[in-house]
Structure formats: structure tokens, C-alpha cells
């Protein structure tokens, strides 16, 4: 919960996978969902610019959101069914 993030002690790109102290998926989601404040967002952006494993986690979360938004067929109601609702409402007086 601390606002100040601890210094991360890894330099390399591969050996800190999931050991990164900054790794906090829930915090990533706050940013992704637009629920983080600007300081939290900046911290995360700065961190993932440096830390490849964390970048991958964030990137994966973004990719999953995108496929949910764009790849799942959006179902629409038929005009006939919409008209039926309107007709039933107009009878409800």
C-alpha cells in the first residue's frame, strides 16, 4: 500500500521473473482499468520501461483486455424484438 515503491534490485532481464518486488498484478490492473491515480500510473510506466518481466505481465493483461473487447462477437437484438419492447411499453399506460 506504500505510495513510495521500493528500489528494485534487479538489473538483468530474465533472472528476476516473478521475483520482482514491484510485481503487483492488482496494481497493474488499477492502472489498466483507469482506477489508479496519476502517481501510481507514472510509477508503473516508469517501472515497466525498465523491467522486462513486469512489462510482459502488463502487456499480457492489455492483450487479454483487447481480445475481450474486439474478438468476442457482440450480439445485437433484432429490430423485431426491439419493436416488441416498444409495443409492450406503449400498452403499459
Cα-Cα-Cα-Cα dihedral sign, residues 14, 17, 21, 26: positive
- Three-class SS state of 28: helix
Using CB under 8 A, which of 37, 39, 59, 83 touches other proteins? 59
Q: Is 14 in the site for other proteins (CB under 8 A)?
A: no
Q: Does 18 bind other proteins (CB under 8 A)?
A: yes
Based on the shown chain and the rule CB under 8 A, indicate whether residue 2 belongs to the binding site for other proteins.
Answer: no
Q: Does 64 bind other proteins (CB under 8 A)?
A: yes
Residue 1 within binding range of other proteins, rule CB under 8 A: no
* Stretch of residues binding other proteins (CB under 8 A), selected from 4-12, 42-50, 60-68: 60-68
Are the C-beta atoms of residues 28 and 65 closer than 8 Å to each other?
A: no
CA 23 vs CA 41, 60, 74, 82: distances in Å: 14, 14, 34, 47
Amino acid at each position: 500500500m506504500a505510495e513510495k515503491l521500493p528500489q528494485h534490485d534487479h538489473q538483468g532481464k530474465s533472472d528476476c521473473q516473478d521475483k520482482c518486488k514491484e510485481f503487483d498484478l492488482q496494481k497493474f490492473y488499477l492502472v489498466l482499468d483507469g482506477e489508479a491515480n496519476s502517481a501510481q500510473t507514472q510509477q508503473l510506466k516508469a517501472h515497466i520501461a525498465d523491467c522486462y518481466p513486469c512489462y510482459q505481465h502488463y502487456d499480457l493483461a492489455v492483450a487479454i483486455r483487447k481480445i475481450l473487447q474486439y474478438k468476442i462477437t457482440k450480439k445485437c437484438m433484432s429490430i423485431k424484438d426491439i419493436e416488441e419492447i416498444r409495443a409492450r411499453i406503449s400498452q403499459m399506460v
